[in-house]
Amino acid sequence: MDTYMTTIAVASIVTSGITISIGVIGPAISEGRAVATALSSLAQQPDASATITRTLFVGLAMIESLSIYCFVVSMILIFANPFWNSAIV
């Protein structure tokens, strides 16, 4: 019984770490590219700065939501793991 609980705990922690590490790489790269492209656009068209900035912030918020979803999944795996009930029975 105790072996199953330990196995589920270790698997949850490892899966949580993998979820966060892989799930943050994509949004981090995307945010960097979005900011670089927005700065390039601002340098070329300074008159459109309000539109570019507004669009950039909306895009960054949507990209950041992917990281937040990965964080939520990892917290569920660590603190509210649905597999605990099957190990207890």
Least confident of 8-22, 30-44, 70-84: 70-84
What are the tokens at 70?
Answer: 């990965």
Average pLDDT over residues 85-89: 65
CA atoms of 49 and 42, how far apart (whole Å): 6
What are the tokens at 25?
Answer: 């790489």
Average pLDDT over residues 46-56: 93
Tens digit of pLDDT for each residue in 16-39? 889 888 889 999 999 999 999 999
Q: What confidence tier does 89 reach under pLDDT thresholds 50, 70, 90?
A: low
- On the 0-12 / 13-18 / 19+ scale of CB atoms within 10 A, 71 is middle
pLDDT value at residue 88: 64
pTM of the full predicted structure? 0.71
Tell how far CA 73 is from the center of its chain. 9
Q: What confidence tier does 76 reach under pLDDT thresholds 50, 70, 90?
A: confident
| CATH number assigned to the domain with residue range 2-88, chosen from the 4 options 3.40.50.800, 3.40.50.620, 1.20.20.10, 3.30.300.30 | 1.20.20.10
Q: What are the domain boundaries of the chain?
A: 2-88
Contacts of 71 (CB under 8 A, 6+ apart): 20, 23
Three-class DSSP category at 66? helix
